Amino acid sequence: MTTTTKLTASLWGGRFSGEMDALMKKFQDSIGFDIRMWSQDIRGSMAYARALSMAGIISSDEAETLQNGLQAIHDEFAAGKFEIKDGDEDIHTAVERRLKEMVGDVGGKLHTGRSRNDQVATDTRFYCLEAIQTVRANIQAVQTSLVDQAEKHVSTLMPGYTHLQRGQPSTFGHWCMAYFWMLQRDLDRLAECEARVAVLPLGSGALAGNPFPINRPALANDLGFQEISQNSFDGVSDRDFVAELLFVGAMLGTHLSRLAEDLIIYTTSEFGFVTFDDAYSTGSSLMPQKKNPDAMELARGKVGRLTGNLITMLMVMKGTPMTFNKDYQEDKEALFDTLDTLELLLPVCAGAVRTLKVNADKMRAALDPAILSTDVAEYLVRKGVPFRDAHHASGRAVALAERKGTKINALTMDDWRAISPHFGDDIAEVFNFEQSVNSRDVTGGTSARSVREQIEKARLLLAVS
Ligand code: ARG
């Protein structure tokens, strides 16, 4: 069993004569996970070859040889035929090693003026830019499910809760749209994050910048980046963009955990508001009657790792000195884990919401007249009573009904009059859930008109993005 690796053969082996301990090699190799960036690494190198040739550092023939070689490697990866060899410590060294095998000595010219430090920062940003498109589309799929459900349930009455206590009447459509807007903020955050990801560090070298006159703006343009980094030290050591993207993931996961928790509660026999489709439920191995909301429990649970990944990244960056440090290699597993998690979590949430069966009868049955107590107070306000006094009077009506063991809407006219002379026969009209919901007709309110207004705005937002 060999316990060491010859260092002289590695890309940076010139100054070494000793050997690397086998565990040290295992400890520092990142090929196991950064291989995922093969396409970005190769396309970044192709653009760099073009930039070197434009700067007159290599001939156009050499640039073409390099690009053809890189394309062949790209094809090998795409066909699943690329072979990792001992000594390929990361994706960058693996591609360069293979390039030299394919095109010979000219392969050694590709890295002119470039370092793995600006290369890995570029690859990771490039990877994020592409992944962001998938996250965006997947968030929008959840939003579409929510808006579709909202449209069907603009007038499906349901209690609205605060402190998980029945508060005021509302609709299932309004509930759906609340989650739509949360996810819309996640999309906004994603777009803002994307702008900061799209800053090209290539040209920063190892730390001090590129000594050859490569055209960085042209390189950025070639790779689809919006801007170039303005300081090489910062260029190679900035990992804010990873932390930001992980925050977007953690916030998104937090929102989905709330959605999940609501639906878990609503699906219990005690509530029975909604039923999950079989496609998103599981059974119990012991209790035959069980239909478990596992999809939503996992959605609630996944926020643990999403938030954990954010904390990992912040802790990796904390206190690192200028400029590049190997610590930053720890960014990728956290990043990939968040992206992988979202890639399943979002479509599962979209499907679970889309196929949700809404039990309107159960929702309606949960509307206790007591949740119209606020409307009782508002009735008095409309008769000129100050809100604080009105609130107090309504509270007394609630207490009286409780004492009498009846519902608030079963109080007699004498009962009402004893509480306040402002109560008239028309108090009976207050006890109407639809009317209560529709009376809240400001933008953002529960009225069917207002929810339709939200839906219209949502459809526009989904159409333009
Ligand atoms: N595998 C490394 C990473 O993921 C690449 C950069 C290595 N640079 C260096 N100077 N050792 O960050």
pLDDT tens per residue, range 100-152:
999 999 999 999 999 999 999 999 999 999 999 999 999 999 999 999 999 99
Q: How far apart are CA 445 and CA 447, in angstroms?
A: 6
Residues 265 and 339 occupy one common structural domain:
yes
Shared domain for 374 and 302, answered yes or no, is no
Q: Which atom of ligand 1 is nearest to the CA of 91?
A: 1
CA 29 to ligand 1 center in whole angstroms? 9
Residues spanned by the domain of 421 = 369-431
Quote the number of domains for the chain: 3
- Please give the positions annotated as active site: 163, 284
Judge if the beta carbon of residue 391 lies within 6 A of ligand 1. no
Whether ligand 1 lies within 6 angstroms of the CB of 116 is answered as yes
Confirm whether 373 is domain-assigned: yes
The SS3 assignment for 58 reads coil
What's the whole-model pTM score? 0.94
> Does ligand 1 come within 6 angstroms of the Cβ of 329?
yes
On whether both 138 and 250 belong to a single domain, the answer is yes
Instruction: Say if 14 falls within a structural domain.
Output: no
Which CATH number is 70's domain given? 1.10.275.10
Q: Which residues contact 319 (CB under 8 A, 6 or more apart)?
A: none
Q: How far does the centroid of ligand 1 lie from the alpha carbon of residue 117, in Å?
A: 6
Q: Indicate whether 96 pLDDT > 90.
A: yes
Strand, helix or coil at 323? coil
CATH number at residue 394: 1.10.40.30
Ligand 1 atom nearest to CA at 92: 5
Q: Considering the domain boundaries, does residue 325 fall inside one?
A: yes
pLDDT at position 175 is: 98
Do the domain assignments include residue 30? yes
| Residue showing tokens 């998980």 | 164
CA separation for the pair 112, 166 (Å, rounded): 68
**CB of 117 closer than 6 angstroms to any ligand 1 atom:** yes
On whether both 146 and 224 belong to a single domain, the answer is: yes
Tokens, residue 445: 């309110």
- Residue 1 pLDDT class (50, 70, 90 cuts): very low
* Helical (H) or strand (E) element with 277: none
Counting atoms of ligand 1 from 1, which one is nearest the CA of 332?
4
Return the residue whose CA atom lies nearest to atom 11 of ligand 1. 326
Q: Roughly how many angstroms between the first and final C-alpha of the chain, as a whole number?
A: 57
Cβ(34) – ligand 1 distance below 6 Å: yes
pLDDT, tens digit, 9 for 90 and up, residues 31-65: 999 999 999 999 999 999 999 999 999 999 999 99
pLDDT greater than 70 at residue 2: no
Domain boundary among 109, 143, 174: 109
Distance 119 CA to ligand 1 centre (A): 9
> Which numbered atom of ligand 1 lies nearest the CA of 124?
4
Ligand 1 centroid to Cα of residue 138, in Å, is 31
Burial 239-263, CB ≥16 within 10 A → b, else e: bebbbbbbbbbbbbbebbbbbbebb
Could you tell me if the CB of 90 is within 6 A of ligand 1?
yes
- Residue with CA at minimum distance from ligand 1 atom 12: 329
Whether the per-residue pLDDT at 352 is higher than 80: the answer is: yes
Residues 132 and 249 in one domain: yes
Residue 75 has pLDDT above 80, yes or no: yes
Contacts by 234-237, CB closer than 8 A, 24 or more apart: 235/118, 235/121, 235/201, 235/203, 235/204, 236/115, 236/117, 236/118, 236/121, 236/201, 236/204, 236/205, 236/206, 236/207, 236/323, 236/324, 237/320, 237/322, 237/323, 237/324, 237/325, 237/328
Q: Is the dihedral of CA 393, 396, 401, 404 positive or negative?
A: negative
